[in-house]
Amino acid sequence: MKLISLNIWGGKKFGPLLEFIKSQASSTDIFCFQEVFRSSAGPEVSNGMKMNIFSDLVAALPDHDGYFAPIQEQYDLHEKINFPAASGETIFAKRSLPILSHGERFIYGSYNDVVVRDGLLDLPVAIQYINIEGKSNRLTIAHLHGIVWPGKKEDSPARLEQSQNIINFLSEQPGEKILCGDFNLLPNTESIQMIEKNGMKNLIKDFKISTTRSIIEAAKYGGNLQHFADYCFVSPSLKIKNFTVPTLAISDHLPLILEFS
């Protein structure tokens, strides 16, 4: 099986992003996207973000079922908006997969509970997940867009609590697990180490990935770039065929591509 996780940046690099997704569609079983918008009315673009990009993703992935998990209404990634739109996470799963269940669980804040701090949106955080019936075991695939504030991706009481809530969620899931997404955390934080100590393999560390941020982000921050935000954790028993983080300019994040059986 093949999984791709990517923070799509609200589709700011829409053309290259869609080209990449379409090129991967036939070979990819699961897509996990963060910073996705869905809207029924209003402008097509707000602050460079495609406000109904969920519909574009549905059209680009006709052989997949899309599950949208809304997190926050009435905001783009920067400010309040005056038209109906929701931001959140999305899983696209091939229709041939035996999906047992899907859902979301808030692990920081609650739905529509944004707070503006120092000019940054402190958004609520939810784990979105699907449960798949495997040949010999159940598989849970989960992803998240972690706490954004403060901008430095270091430990905070809220981020430590977030990691504990992640661990609690994983402990409730039988079988094998994959946890991926944009955690907004650096590798040496206790928040990341908590997940590792709970028995999950950190593929960013194991495969010696040097960055998960694209040249778009590097051009913006230069020497102050925080090279890591995105992670993929797996159960030790999961058989990994390959894990790559290609350097593509399709978002301010790089895609995480996992092949496993």
User: pLDDT band at residue 207, thresholds of 50, 70 and 90?
Assistant: very high
Share of the chain above pLDDT 70, in %: 100
Measured CA to CA, the distance from residue 213 to residue 182 in angstroms comes to 10
Q: Output the pLDDT for position 34.
A: 99
- Written in H, E and C, the secondary structure of the chain is CEEEEEECHHHCCHHHHHHHHHHHHHHCCEEEEEEEEEECCCCCEECCEECCHHHHHHHHCCCEEEEEEEEEECECCCCECCCCEEEEEEEEEECCCCEEEEEEEEEECCCCCCEEECCEEECCEEEEEEEEECCCCEEEEEEEECCCCCCCCCCCHHHHHHHHHHHHHHHCCCCEEEEEEECCCCCCCHHHHHHHHCCCEEHHHHCCCCCCECHHHHHHHHHHCCCCCEEEEECCCCCEEEEECCCCCCCCECCEEEEEC
Per-residue pLDDT, 259 = 99
Over residues 66-109, the pLDDT tens digits come to 999 999 999 998 899 999 999 999 999 999 999 999 999 999 99
| Per-residue pLDDT at 28 | 99
Number of compact structural domains in the chain: 1
pLDDT at 258: 99
Residue 164 has pLDDT above 90, yes or no: yes
**Pairwise CA distance, residues 200 & 208, whole Å:** 16
Amino acid sitting at position 51: M
pLDDT-based confidence at residue 222 (cuts at 50, 70, 90): confident
What's the mean pLDDT when you consider all of the chain?
A: 96
Q: Is the pLDDT of residue 223 over 80?
A: no
Query: What local confidence, expressed as pLDDT, does residue 210 receive?
Result: 97
Quick one: pLDDT at residue 220?
76
Res 158: pLDDT: 97
**How many residues does the structure list for the chain?**
261
Tell me the average pLDDT across 2-15: 98
How far apart are the C-alpha atoms of 35 and 8, rounded to whole Å?
A: 6
Q: Residue 92: its pLDDT value, please?
A: 99
The answer to whether the beta carbons of residues 39 and 84 sit under 8 Å apart is yes
| pLDDT higher than 80, residue 221 | no
Q: What is the pLDDT of residues 117-159, one digit of tens each?
A: 888 899 999 999 999 998 778 999 999 999 998 888 999 999 9
pLDDT bucket at 225, cuts 50 / 70 / 90: confident
- Give residue-wise pLDDT tens across range 31-55: 999 999 999 888 899 999 999 999 9
Which CATH number characterizes residue 78's domain?
A: 3.60.10.10
Query: In terms of pLDDT, which residue wins out, 236 or 42?
Result: 236
From CA 51, how far away is CA 82, in angstroms rounded? Answer: 12
Q: What are phi and psi of 241, to 5 degrees?
A: -90, -40
Position 217 scores a pLDDT of 84
Note the pLDDT of residue 83. Answer: 94
**What would the two tokens of residue 168 be?**
């609690």
pLDDT of residue 118: 83
Assigned token pair, 226: 């925080």
Residue 76 pLDDT: 93
- Quick one: pLDDT at residue 150? 87
| Rounded distance between C-alpha atoms, residue 241 and residue 154, angstroms | 31
Query: Cα 171 vs. chain centroid, distance in angstroms?
Result: 20
Domain limits for position 56? 2-260
